[in-house]
Amino acid sequence: MALYLAQFLTGLAGAASLFLVASGLSIIFGVTRVVNFAHGAFYMVGAYVAYTLTERFEGAIGFWGGIVLSVLVVAALGGLVEILLLRRIYHAPDLFQLLATFGLTLMAEDLVVIIWGPEDLVGPRAPGLKGAVEVLGQAVPSYDLVLIALGPLVLGALWLLFHRTRFGILVRAATQDRDMVAALGVNQKWLFTAVFCLGVGLAALGGALQIPRDAVNHAMDLTVIVEAFVVVVIGGLGSVGGAFLASLLVAELNAFGILVLPGVSLVLVFVVMAVVLVLRPNGLLGRAEAPARGTGQMSSRPWRPLDAKAQFIALVAVAVAALLPLWLGPYGLAVGAEMLIFALFAMSLQFLMSTGGLASFGHAAYFGLGAYGAALAVKSLGWPMIPALGCGVMLGLAGAALFGWFCVRLAGVYFAMLTLAFAQIAWSAAFQWTAVTGGDNGLLGSWPDAWAASPRAFYWLSLAVAVGGIGALRILTFSPFGYGLRAVRDSSLRAEAIGIGRRHTQWVCFIVAGGFAALAGGLFAFLKGSVFPDALGIPTSVDGLVMVLLGGVGTVSGSVLGAVVYKALSVWLISQTDYSKLVLGAAIVGLVVLFPSGIGGFFSAWAGRRRVSTRATAAAPVEAAE
Amino acid sequence: MKRVLIAALLGGTFFGSGLAPTRADDIKIGEINSYSALPGFTEPYRKGWQLAVEEINAAGGINGKTLVVVSKDDAGKPAEAVTAANELVSSEGVAMLAGGFFSNIGLALADFAKQKKVFYFAGEPLTDAMVWAHGNHYTFRLRPSNYMQAAMLAEEAAKLPAKRWATIAPNYEYGQSAVAVFKNLLSAKRPDIEWVGEQWPTQGKIDAGPVVAAIAATQPDAILNVEFGPDLVKLVREGNTRGLFKDRAVVSFLTGEPEYLEPLKDEAPQGWIVTGYPWYGIHTPAHDAFLKAYEAKYNDHPRLGSVVGYTLIKAAAEVLRKAGSTDTDKLVGAAEGLSFPTPFGNATLRAIDHQATLGAFVGKTAVQDGKGVMVDFAYRDGAKYLPPDSEVKTFRPAE
Amino acid sequence: MNQSLLRVESLAKSYHGVPAVRGVSFTLERGEILALIGPNGAGKSTCFNMLNGQIRPNAGTILFEGQDVTASSPRSMWRRGVGRTFQITATFTSMTVRENLQTALLSHAGQLSRPFGKANRAFEVEADALLDRVGLRGQADRSCGELAYGDLKRLELAVALTNSPSLLLMDEPTAGMAPKERADLMRATAAIARERNVGILFTEHDMDIVFEHADRVMVLNRGELIAMGAPDVVRQDRQVRAIYLGEGLVHGDLAAAQVRH
Ligand SMILES: Nc1ncnc2c1ncn2[C@@H]1O[C@H](COP(=O)(O)OP(=O)(O)OP(=O)(O)O)[C@@H](O)[C@H]1O
Ligand SMILES: [Mg+2]
pLDDT average, residue stretch B327-331? 95
pLDDT(B4) > 70: no
Report the candidate in A334, A370, A339 with the shortest Cα–Cα distance to residue A467: A339
ipTM comes to 0.90
Which architecture, in CATH terms, is B147-278+360-395? Answer: 3-Layer(aba) Sandwich (3.40)
A338 and A270 within one domain: no
Domain membership of residue A549 (yes or no) is no
Chain C contact for A493, CB < 8 A? yes
Q: How far is A533 from chain B, CA to nearest CA, in Å? A: 10
Which of A513, A537, A561 corresponds to the end of one domain?
Answer: A537
With 0-12 CB in 10 A as exposed, 13-18 as middle and 19+ as buried, what is B131? buried
Q: Closest to A480 (Cβ–Cβ): which among C93, C117, C145? A: C117
Domains belonging to chain C, first-starting first, are: 6-81+165-254 (3.40.50.300), 92-150 (no CATH)
pLDDT(A54) > 80: yes
Phi and psi (nearest 5°) for A193? -60, -45
Phi-psi region of A566 (alpha: psi -120 to 50; beta: other; left: phi over 0): alpha
Task: Report CA(A486)–ligand 2 centroid distance (Å).
Answer: 26
Outline where DSSP puts E strands in chain B: 27-33, 67-73, 96-99, 119-122, 139-141, 164-168, 194-199, 222-225, 249-256, 273-276, 339-340, 347-348, 360-368, 371-380
Domain membership of residue A396 (yes or no) is yes
List the residue whose alpha carbon is closest to atom 4 of ligand 1. Answer: C15
Alpha carbon distance A445, A452 (integer Å): 15
Residues of A in contact with B73 (CB under 8 A): 574-575, 577-578, 580
Q: How far is B367 from chain A, CA to nearest CA, in Å? A: 15
Q: How far is A296 from chain B, CA to nearest CA, in Å? A: 36
Alpha carbon distance A260, B355 (integer Å): 39
Alpha carbon distance A54, A124 (integer Å): 7
Any ligand 1 atom below 6 A from CB of C42: yes
Alpha carbon distance A496, B308 (integer Å): 65
Alpha carbon distance B321, B325 (integer Å): 8
> For chain B, which residues make up each domain, given as ranges?
17-145+282-348, 147-278+360-395
Q: Do C159 and A494 touch (CB under 8 A)?
A: yes
| pLDDT > 90 in chain B, percent | 86
Count of beta carbons in the 10 Å neighbourhood of residue B117: 12
8 A C-beta contact, residue A221 and residue A263: no
Q: Which has the higher per-residue pLDDT, B298 or A309?
A: B298
Which of A483, A508, A537 corresponds to the end of one domain?
Answer: A537
pLDDT average, residue stretch A564-575? 91
| pLDDT number for residue B79 | 93
Count of structural domains within chain A: 2
In single-letter form, the type of residue at position A168 comes to G
8 A C-beta contact, residue A378 and residue A388: yes
* pLDDT level of residue C251 (50, 70, 90 thresholds): very low
Q: Closest to B238 (Cβ–Cβ): which among A213, A222, A447? A: A213
Domain membership of residue A542 (yes or no) is no
Per CATH, domain B17-145+282-348 is 3.40.50.2300: yes
Domain extent at residue A137: 2-279
| pLDDT number for residue B25 | 75
Task: Report CA(B356)–ligand 1 centroid distance (Å).
Answer: 79
Q: Do B90 and A13 touch (CB under 8 A)?
A: no
Q: Do C95 and A486 touch (CB under 8 A)?
A: yes
Domain membership of residue A97 (yes or no) is yes
Chain A contact for C87, CB < 8 A? no
Task: Report CA(C171)–ligand 2 centroid distance (Å).
Answer: 7
* pLDDT level of residue A622 (50, 70, 90 thresholds): very low
Q: Do A214 and B262 touch (CB under 8 A)?
A: no
Residue A79: HSE in the Cβ half-sphere, 13 Å Cα cutoff: 13
Report the candidate in B303, B296, B357 with the shortest Cα–Cα distance to residue B147: B357
* pLDDT level of residue A613 (50, 70, 90 thresholds): low
Which of A279, A295, A314 corresponds to the end of one domain?
Answer: A279
Element (H, E) at C240: helix C238-245
A454-490 in b/e form (b: 16+ CB < 10 A) is: ebbbbbbbbbebbbebbebbbbbbbbbbbbbbbbbbb
| pLDDT number for residue B319 | 96
List subunits contacting chain C, requiring 3 or more Cβ pairs under 8 Å. Answer: A
Alpha carbon distance C156, A493 (integer Å): 12
Alpha carbon distance C218, A507 (integer Å): 42
pLDDT(C245) > 80: no
What value, to the nearest 5°, has the Cα angle with vertex C210 and ends C206 and C211? 120
Domain membership of residue A555 (yes or no) is no
| pLDDT number for residue A624 | 32
**B265 Cβ contact list (under 8 Å, min separation 6):** A122, B370, B371, B372
Closest atom of ligand 1 to CA, residue C55: 1
A133 and A12 within one domain: yes
Mutation choice for A interface testing from C94, C167, C169 by most A CBs within 10 A: C94
| pLDDT tens track for C79-113 | 999 999 999 889 999 999 999 999 999 999 999 99
Q: What is the pTM of this model?
A: 0.90
Residue A495: HSE in the Cβ half-sphere, 13 Å Cα cutoff: 23
| pLDDT number for residue B24 | 63
Chain C contact for A298, CB < 8 A? yes
List the residue whose alpha carbon is closest to atom 9 of ligand 1. Answer: C46
**B287 Cβ contact list (under 8 Å, min separation 6):** B279, B343, B344
* pLDDT level of residue A290 (50, 70, 90 thresholds): low
8 A C-beta contact, residue A220 and residue A45: no
8 A C-beta contact, residue A38 and residue A101: yes
Largest Cα–Cα distance of chain B, in whole Å? 64
8 A C-beta contact, residue A55 and residue A124: yes
| pLDDT > 90 in chain A, percent | 60
| pLDDT tens track for B303-317 | 999 999 999 999 999
pLDDT(B3) > 60: no
Task: Report CA(A58)–ligand 1 centroid distance (Å).
Answer: 63
Q: Which has the higher per-residue pLDDT, A187 or B195?
A: B195
Look at residue C123 and give its three-state secondary structure. coil
Q: Do C75 and A499 touch (CB under 8 A)?
A: yes
Task: Report CA(C14)–ligand 1 centroid distance (Å).
Answer: 10
Q: Do A441 and B242 touch (CB under 8 A)?
A: no
| pLDDT tens track for C169-200 | 999 988 888 888 888 888 888 988 888 899 99
List the residue whose alpha carbon is closest to atom 1 of ligand 1. Answer: C15
Mutation choice for B interface testing from A574, A576, A583, A584 by most B CBs within 10 A: A574
Q: Closest to B200 (Cβ–Cβ): which among A111, A263, A579? A: A263
| pLDDT number for residue B318 | 95
SS (H, E, C) A216-269: ECCCHHHHHHHHHHHHHHHHCCCCHHHHHHHHHHHHHHHHHHHHHCCCHHHCHH
Give the CA distances from residue A247 to residues A21, A237, A349, B234, in Å, rounded to whole numbers and listed in that order: 10, 13, 31, 20
Q: Closest to A577 (Cβ–Cβ): which among B14, B79, B91? A: B14
**A145 Cβ contact list (under 8 Å, min separation 6):** A9, A13, A133
Closest atom of ligand 1 to CA, residue C43: 18
**B387 Cβ contact list (under 8 Å, min separation 6):** B147, B395
pLDDT(A67) > 90: yes
| pLDDT number for residue B160 | 95
Domain membership of residue A604 (yes or no) is no
DSSP, res A289: P
Any ligand 1 atom below 6 A from CB of C223: no
| pLDDT tens track for A459-471 | 999 999 999 999 9
Task: Report CA(A394)–ligand 1 centroid distance (Å).
Answer: 48
Look at residue C24 and give its three-state secondary structure. strand
pLDDT(A457) > 80: yes
Bridging pattern class, strands B27-33 and B96-99: parallel
**B46 Cβ contact list (under 8 Å, min separation 6):** B33, B35, B71, B309
With 0-12 CB in 10 A as exposed, 13-18 as middle and 19+ as buried, what is B243? middle
A351 and A261 within one domain: no
Any ligand 1 atom below 6 A from CB of C153: no
Domain membership of residue A50 (yes or no) is yes
